[in-house]
Structure formats: structure tokens, C-alpha cells
Amino acid sequence: MPKSAESMFCVVSTNDSGKDQRLLERDAQRLVRGTDAYVQRYKRELRPLYPEPDSLFVPLLVTNARLFVADYDPSDVSLDTGQFSMPPRAAISAVPWVRFRKAFTSENKDIGDRTVFVVAATELQELLTKLDMI
């Protein structure tokens, strides 16, 4: 919970032409490592001061960008260019947030798939409500 689209690939662009596209992995990787470092500090220093049930730490990347998901067949992606022809409009949907799920590393160890929520800033309160965090 909450239900959302899930993606293994997230692309960022800062202009309408899309010519400056880059993958979101580097930013998400830093966020995962930072979250893990905070969890370790929390366990070591803060939890003894504030005993409570197990806590859930969710990496959130908040953006003022509009978020979209494209539903496509992976076999349509060119192995030469890594691109695919744009799917029909019906296959592109605006979303308030998306789960970016991938095998990020932490402290140079592969600890399996991790999830980073990428959320539009205007939808942050709604996501936190659905996560039962406020």
C-alpha cells in the first residue's frame, strides 16, 4: 500500500525536447545509501532513547516534475540505441507517484531489490497519508 505503478527504469529530462535525458539510478542510489546510513545511526544512537515498535524507513525522492508511466513491450526497445518508438497516447499515463524498484547497492554490497518512491511534490501529503505516516 498504496497501490502505484512500479518501474525498473526511470528517465529524467529537464526540458520539453527530452534531449537531455538521463537515468534516475544515480540519484536513487545516493538516496538508498543515505537512508541506510540514517537507519544505522538510528539503530545505534536514537532507538535506545526512543524505544518504539519496529520502524519503517521509506526512501522518497520528491520532485516538482510531472510524472508519467509508459506501458510498452520490452521487445520493442532497440538493442542498438536503447530507444523505442513512442507508444500510443493511451499507453502513457500521468501518475502521482511511482515505485522505482531495482537492485541498488548499499555499502558496496548487493542487498537485493530496493524501492524508492518517486513522488510529485503536490502529491506528497496524499502519499504520506496513504503510507499512514501523518
The string of pLDDT tens digits covering residues 90-109 is 688 899 999 988 877 666 66
Percent of the chain with pLDDT over 90: 19
pLDDT of residue 80: 85
Taking the model in full, what pTM does it have? 0.76
Grid coordinates in use for 109? 554490497
At residue 87 the predicted structure's pLDDT band, cuts being 50, 70 and 90, is: low
Helix (H) or strand (E) holding 41: helix 25-41
For 24-126, strand residue ranges (E) read 60-63, 67-70, 92-95, 97-102, 105-106, 109-110, 114-120
Integer CA distances (angstroms), 26 to 5, 13, 49, 105, in order: 20, 14, 34, 11
Residues near 100 by beta carbon (within 8 Å), at least 6 away in sequence: 6, 7, 8, 10, 24, 28, 61, 115, 116, 117, 118
pLDDT of residue 4: 85
pLDDT of residue 127: 92
Average pLDDT, the chain: 80
pLDDT of residue 119: 95
Q: Which three-class secondary structure state does DSSP give residue 129?
A: helix
pLDDT of residue 1: 66
